[in-house]
């Protein structure tokens, strides 16, 4: 999409389900960061459906983008990470699996 081709006023407001999902994502993001940042993970990688390239989002940038989407109903363009090391980023699915594994281990240890 070329700059100026998009009118943000034309976008419908977020629905209740979308808002709830964003709040859940922000909660999950905080958990993932708490678990993975101490292990050297700098953020999340997302495969872009538009350009087919991976996009690397540091924790705070992703949090800021999700909060903006929640508050404004859209995300502003942002600068991509400069020469990111792909080994420092993991997928959302990896984060979820890691968090599930930690939770399961803690549950087993508390029995």
* 95 exposure class (CB count in 10 Å sphere: 0-12, 13-18, 19+): buried
Count of structural domains within the chain? 1
pLDDT at res. 111: 78
Q: Output the six-digit token pair for 79.
A: 């600068």
- 34 inside domain: yes
Q: Is 51 within a domain?
A: yes
Distance CA(1)–CA(64), nearest Å, equals 22
* 16 DSSP 8-state letter: H
Instruction: Report pTM.
Output: 0.81
Q: Is 10 part of any domain?
A: no
Give CA–CA dist 102/35, Å, rounded. Answer: 9
pLDDT score of 20:
95
> In the prediction, which pLDDT does 1 show?
43
| Whole-number Å distance between alpha carbons of 34 and 105 | 17
Phi, psi of 18 (to 5 degrees): -65, -40
pLDDT, block means (10 residues), the chain with 111 residues: 51 86 96 97 91 91 92 78 90 97 90 78
Question: What is the span of the domain harbouring residue 67?
Answer: 16-110
């Amino acid at each position: 999409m070329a700059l100026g081709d998009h009118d943000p006023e034309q976008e419908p407001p977020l629905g209740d389900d979308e808002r709830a999902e964003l709040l859940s994502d922000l909660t999950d993001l905080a958990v993932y960061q708490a678990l993975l940042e101490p292990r050297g993970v700098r953020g999340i990688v997302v495969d872009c459906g538009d350009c087919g390239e991976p996009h690397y989002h540091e924790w705070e940038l992703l949090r800021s983008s999700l909060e903006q989407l929640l508050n404004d109903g859209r995300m502003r363009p942002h600068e991509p990470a400069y020469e990111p090391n792909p080994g420092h980023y993991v997928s959302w699915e990896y984060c979820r699996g890691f968090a599930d594994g930690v939770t399961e281990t803690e549950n087993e240890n508390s029995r």
